[in-house]
Structure 1
Amino acid sequence: MDENQITIVDEDGNEHLCDIVLTFPSDRFGDKIYVVYAPIGEYDEDGEPIYDAAIVEPDEGDEAGGRLVPIESEEEWEMVQEVFNTLMDEEGEE
């Protein structure tokens, strides 16, 4: 696994290797770091990659690691979607 990938364990205990698409800090909802990721080889009904996001909660004493915490507020989801859509729009223009 390279440094731009993470393994997500779903509620059934299945592991999914995911590409990290974007990480960014935001102080809008507290001092948090967000990660947007896409499970490798998983696509929606239109053949588009599936994207998901979470909050990175750093492990104390481990600068490189942490655990993922679900985003539970609708306002946080909207902020993450706005940042992600802006990035995708900018990449589409290049």
Structure 2
Amino acid sequence: MAEDEKIRPGENDQQITLIDDNGNEELYNVLFTFDSEDYDKSYVLLYPEGAEDDDDEVQIEAFSYTPDANGDASQGDLYPIEDDDEWSMVEEVLNTFLADDDTPDL
């Protein structure tokens, strides 16, 4: 992880509702957020509500976002990550986060 990236673990009450192309809503929990000075963006990683109760592999969603006035992702706008280099950076940060011994099992 680059020196300019800071990880902020999500709190239990941080949730975001995502709406798919068909208008279906799904509730997600914030795993963590971080900032990257290289891309001058903030990022949020999410996992589906209730996924921590499943034994199956959890699919994690990642977005860049515009923080709200409090710096939170839950009220700001989410944007897809479309650049391959940017995806690689996000995956590296996620892998570092998951390798941490203090990470709760999802």
Q: Into which bin does the TM-score normalised by the smaller protein fall?
A: 0.7 to 0.9
Superposed, 1:1-12 pairs within 5 Å as 3-12=13-22
Distance of 1:74 and 1:54 partners within structure 2: 13
In the alignment, which residue of structure 2 is the partner of 1:38?
Answer: 47
1:80 equivalent to 2:63? Answer no
TM-score by length of 1: 0.79
Runs (4+) of structure 1 moved beyond 4 Å? none
Q: Which consecutive unaligned segments of at least 5 residues does structure 2 have? A: 1-11
Tell me: CA distance 1:41–1:32, structure 2 relative to 1, closer, same or farther (3 Å): same
Superposed, 1:1-94 pairs within 5 Å as 3-29=13-39, 31-41=40-50, 47-58=56-67, 62-63=69-70, 64=72, 65-91=75-101
Tell me: CA distance 1:42–1:90, structure 2 relative to 1, closer, same or farther (3 Å): closer
Q: Which consecutive unaligned segments of at least 5 residues does structure 1 have? A: none
One-letter amino acid matched to 2:23: G
Tell me: CA distance 1:49–1:80, structure 2 relative to 1, closer, same or farther (3 Å): same
In the alignment, which residue of structure 1 is the partner of 2:4?
Answer: none
Taking only the aligned residue pairs, the percentage that are identical comes to 40
Cα RMSD (Å) of the superposition?
2.5
Structure 1 residue 11 displacement after superposition: 1.5
One-letter amino acid matched to 2:86: E
Structure 1 residue 76 displacement after superposition: 0.8
Q: How many residues align?
A: 88
Tell me: CA distance 1:9–1:93, structure 2 relative to 1, closer, same or farther (3 Å): closer
Structure 1 residue 92 displacement after superposition: 6.2
Distance of 1:34 and 1:42 partners within structure 2: 21
- Alignment partner of 1:6: what SS? strand
